[in-house]
Amino acid sequence: MIGQFTEDMVRIFGAELGCALGFLHDIGIIHRDVKMENILLTDNGHLRLADFGLSRRLERGGRAFTICGTIQYMAPEVLSGGPYNHAADWWSLGILLFSLVHGKFPVPPEPDHSSMLRKVRNFPYEMPLSFSPSFALLITELLCKTPFRRLRTLDRFKRQTFFHGTTFDLTLLQRQPVEVILELRERPDRAAKARRGLTLSLQPLKGFDYDSLLSPPATPDTQLDAQPQMAAPLPGPALRLKPVQEKGPRREVFV
């Protein structure tokens, strides 16, 4: 076990990321690289979805075929070369939320997309006993291997039992500081690290090994050419959760 966030904290993160995906999909954009490294944090601990280097225009009903993304977050239909659509982003969100609460990925990453596809197809995604029933149900809905049965809309996401009592009004969400981020903000070495282009130390999250969790050795990312980073859809200053330190070779695959 590497370390975990609480479900209460992830509930806020999930609501904000769900709103971000719903916004993007409504305007005809698929992100295709939802992962921890592409999440920014404001001083109050709220999220910005960033790095649109792999995103593309995709209207409702459209299909994509390019194998791209970060291998341990890629939906099975992406790993197989398509066709796929916006439902692939919701799969990636499921992997992200699972990993934040459990402390490790549901399936260890493989060195190539073909091997990863075989593992994803054969893995039952049994829920850890530490998950609450409502969170386990949410993950089950997001990690459905059949895209047209998967939870793939913001409206359905909001209706999940896990989010009962949670507001999806972004203005109200912004008024609820995430305490662990406030603790990081008060660290005396914050200014010096910011000047060096580094993010804050995550010591308050004891035992949470981001390098091991986010960038396992020999895990290639399948990426397109990098594009300028953007953050959407929420305004305001942001900090990276961690410096982007990719490990292992990177390659491009076009289908």
pTM of the model: 0.73
Q: Is 33 a catalytic residue?
A: yes
Q: Which two tokens stand for residue 38?
A: 């592409």
**pLDDT level of residue 207 (50, 70, 90 thresholds):** low
Lowest mean pLDDT among 62-71, 105-114, 170-179, 233-242: 233-242
Active-site residue (options: 33, 51, 89, 221): 33
Query: Which of 111, 58, 118 has its CA nearest to residue 88?
Result: 58
pLDDT band at 47 (very low <50, low <70, confident <90, very high): confident
Give the whole-angstrom CA distance, residue 63 versus residue 32.
13
Read off the tokens for 103.
Answer: 């402390």
- Report, as an integer, the average pLDDT of 182-210: 55
Q: What is the DSSP letter of 221?
A: E
The yes-or-no verdict on residue 197 having pLDDT over 80 is: no
At 44 the pLDDT is 78
Confidence class of residue 7 from pLDDT cuts 50, 70 and 90? very high
Least confident piece of the model among 61-70, 170-179, 241-250: 241-250
Residue 175, number of CB atoms within 10 A of its CB: 10
The strand order across the sheet containing 239-240 reads: 231-232, 47-50, 39-41, 239-240
Q: Inform me whether the pLDDT recorded for 140 exceeds 90.
A: yes
Compute the distance between CA of residue 217 and CA of residue 108 in angstroms, rounded to an integer. 11
| Torsion of Cα atoms, 84 then 157 then 40 then 222, to 10° | -20
Please give the Cα distance from 171 to 168 (Å, whole number).
9
Q: Which CATH number fits domain 7-178+206-251: 1.10.510.10, 1.20.1560.10, 1.10.10.1100, 3.40.190.10?
A: 1.10.510.10
